[in-house]
Copies of this chain bind each other. A is one copy, B any other.
Amino acid sequence: MKVEVLAVGTELLLGQIVNSNAAEIGVRLADAGLDHHHQTVVGDNLGRIADAIRLATSRSDALIITGGIGPTQDDMTREALSEATSTALVFDERYADQLRAFWAARGRDMPESNLRQAYRPAGAEMIPNPKGTAPGLRMHVGNTWVFVLPGVPQEMLPMVDNDVIPFLQSVSGEERSVVVSRVLRTWGESESKIGELLGDLYDASLNPTVAFLASAGEIKVRLTAKAATEGDARGLIEPVEAEVRARLGTRVFATDADSVEAQLIRELVARKWTIGTAESATGGMVAARITAIPGASAAFRGSIVAYDAETKTTLLGVPAEVISRHGLVSEEVAAAMADGAASRLGVDVAIAVTGAAGPDEHDRSAAGTMVVAVHTPEGTQARTLKMPGDRERVRTYTTTSALHLARMAVTGLAWGR
C-alpha cells in the first residue's frame, strides 16, 4: 500500500517552520510496513491544494493531509478536498454540538466562525480529535483513502497512531504482517561510539533492522522486525537485543517509551526516598522534567531555584565564603547547594545544578561550563560538564545529564570518568 503525505501551510514554504510533521508520519509509516514515496508541501491556496489532492489520488493508495483545518479563513483544506472531489460541503450537526460542548466546558462562548470546523465534504467521515477542536476527516476518493488531520503535532500524531495507521493496516490487501520495534535507550556515549560498537550488527541488519537516533544527549538504538505475527517479530528481535545489551552494558538504561525521570521516580519510591532540586543555570528545568511524570508526587517534594549568589546563601545556606573562594560555577558550590536543598526541603536525595549557560561567561567560567551535584543518604558527588551549543541546548542537555547522574547515584552505579 502506497501512502503519501501532503502538508498545507504558507508558513512551511516561507521557512518559518520546518515540516517535522512529514518526518514524524514517515517514521510511523515505516514502522507499520507501509510504503511511502512522496511528500509535498503547498501553501494556503485553494487551487494548489486541490491540484495536489488530485495528483496524489491519481497515484497513491492513501493520502495523509496535515494542516489547513483550523477555524480561520486561511484554513482551506476542507474546501479544497470538496473541490478536488466535486463533492458538496455539508454541515455536520452532530459535530457542531461537540464543538459547542467543548467551549461550554471551558466556560466560554464559542465564536460563530468556529462552526467552519463542522463542515465536511459529503461522504467524508469525521475522525475525533481528542486533543483539540478541529476534527479530522476520512474519505474514499476513487481508489484512494484520503485523511485530513490538524497541523498541530500534539493533535495530529495521536490521530495517526490511533486511527490512520490501524485503519490503513486493516484495509491493506497485502499479506498481513506486523512490525515490532524495540528501542534501547542509552546515555553516556556519543552516537559515533555506539555506531562503532554495533557497526557489524548494523551492516548485517535486515530483519530486524538496526537504526540509531540521537535526542538531547541520549542515543536510541531501534530494532525493527517485520513478521507474520507479533510473536514471530519479537522472536527475531530477541537475540539481536541480547547481543546489543551485552555490548553496551549499563549504557542501556531504559527501553521503549520509558524515560530517565520516570525510572528515577520508580527507584526512589522503591527505596521510600524523597527528592528535591536546587537549580541555578537550569532555572527549574530539572524539577519541571520530574514533575512532568504523573505521580511524581510520590517522591518529589520541591525545588529551590537560587539564581543569584545572595539567594544561594539565604535560601540554600551555601556559605558566602565557599562562593567567594571557589566561584559560583564550582563543584564545591554545587555540592553545598545539593546538601542545602536536602536539608531545607527535608528530602533524601537532592539534585543541584549551577553553571554558565551562556551566551556570556558567568563568574569567570566560560559559557557551557555546567556543574551537577547529587546528594543521597550515602554522600554527595559533583561533576563538571563542558556542554557545546547555545543556551537552550546547554540547559536541555545539562538537565538530561543531571537526571542520569541522579539515577546512577540512587541505584549505586559509578559515574565513571
Q: Measuring CB to CB, which residues of chain A are less than 8 angstroms from any residue of chain B?
A: 10-20, 22-28, 30, 36-45, 48, 55, 70-74, 102, 105-108, 110-114, 131-132, 152, 154, 181, 190-196, 199, 202-203, 210-214, 222, 224, 277, 279, 281-288, 290-292, 294, 296-297, 300-308, 311, 314-315, 344-346, 358-360, 386, 388-393, 395
Q: Is the CB of A71 within 8 A of B195?
A: yes
**A72 touches which of B20, B24, B212, B294 (Cβ 8 Å):** B212
Cβ–Cβ contact A294 & B359, under 8 A: yes
Count of chain copies: 2
Name A297's contact: one of B23, B181, B308, B386 (CB within 8 Å): B308
Provide 10 A-B residue pairs closer than 8 Å at the C-beta atoms, listed in order of the A residue.
A15-B22, A15-B28, A37-B42, A39-B40, A70-B192, A73-B202, A113-B195, A131-B390, A303-B303, A304-B315
Partner of A211, one of B16, B30, B358: B16
The answer to whether B23 and A19 touch across the interface, beta carbons within 8 angstroms, is: yes
Give me the 9 closest cross-chain CB pairs, A-B, nearest first. A283-B291, A284-B284, A15-B26, A284-B287, A72-B195, A303-B305, A15-B27, A71-B192, A39-B41
Which B residues lie within 8 Å of A199 (CB)?
Answer: 73, 113
Given that A211-B44, A283-B288, A284-B287 are contacting pairs, would A193 and B111 also be in contact in the complex, using a CB cutoff of 8 Å? Answer: yes
Smallest CB separation, A150 vs chain B (Å): 10
